[in-house]
Chains A and B, each alone.
Chain A
């Protein structure tokens, strides 16, 4: 079970120029098996929220619970996908994945080969086991990054703009692969992005963030079946709704300034 409860999450960083509030009193829940996008402009504290869920950052105030347990007590079992693939260039695809499997214990996992084969199949990389990262394309490197998150079989996937640095064609292909992989077993996903179209394509629910310091502008539910089609009238309607929520939050922010 990997439902997430975030209540009154506040994060303040101590910087040289004084305390800096990046997340201000944010509360929302993610149901088990739900795909939620955190959408907001750059520097709006989306990644900070994600890292608080992962337990990589500790909250200044408030609480984050995963599966009913505060992450400060027990770190959740998650897979993390970064904006860059973050592969070890001196290790092959399969060695990079084995690293994730063996990372905690340092020893081989019993069904390692089977898991490796399955996860490579999931991201369409069968046959590339022995390639080094510099021998495969950027899109394939991202697939390895996603496979690395999957291979540890987490209930929770945390993704921090994983397709942000890719060209649109490659990103679209990877997004549809991600949706296909996700639909197989419906793990809980929290996906950070600043791309409205991407969020509307992927999410069951979009949490729209305001500019700094982050609050929640609006939470938008999307009741469209997967896989979705870019440019369909339904998608377009959702995109317009998200965009207007975005616009409202920015104009409010400008007034408050």
Chain B
């Protein structure tokens, strides 16, 4: 006989308590909501909330760390710039989850494939910075092939072609984050296309 014995969650006591509180509230109001949506809503922390339409981006590294990223900050042709989304009115940087880390990269729009172009703004494309292989940072740049490179196992992605895998063990493309540009500032245009992160075995 073979039983899969999943590990209990790390903070499941806290989560269970949270669930109970939420359920009580919901039952008290007589509102019927799907259970998992309730849990998700209750856990919402603006810093951990996924990129949201209208979010701007801030630098993760370097002298401009924390500053809003403008189109002119991005060199045409790469390399990528690591960024976190920022909720613009309250200024909350969404760095509460690594899965919110994205990379911005700018090209001549004519170089982008149609799908990449459709989700770009003034030649700027944005992708999840989390490798689809084992979840490491896609933080490096290969100048000879113009590809995004993962630090762990060398997977490479073509940013001009919707982050298609061009080398290495990654099983699928990076999730794309559609962006637009307003007054020279790069902003989120819609939610991730695809799921950021990797599928554990």
Q: Are A and B subunits of one complex?
A: no
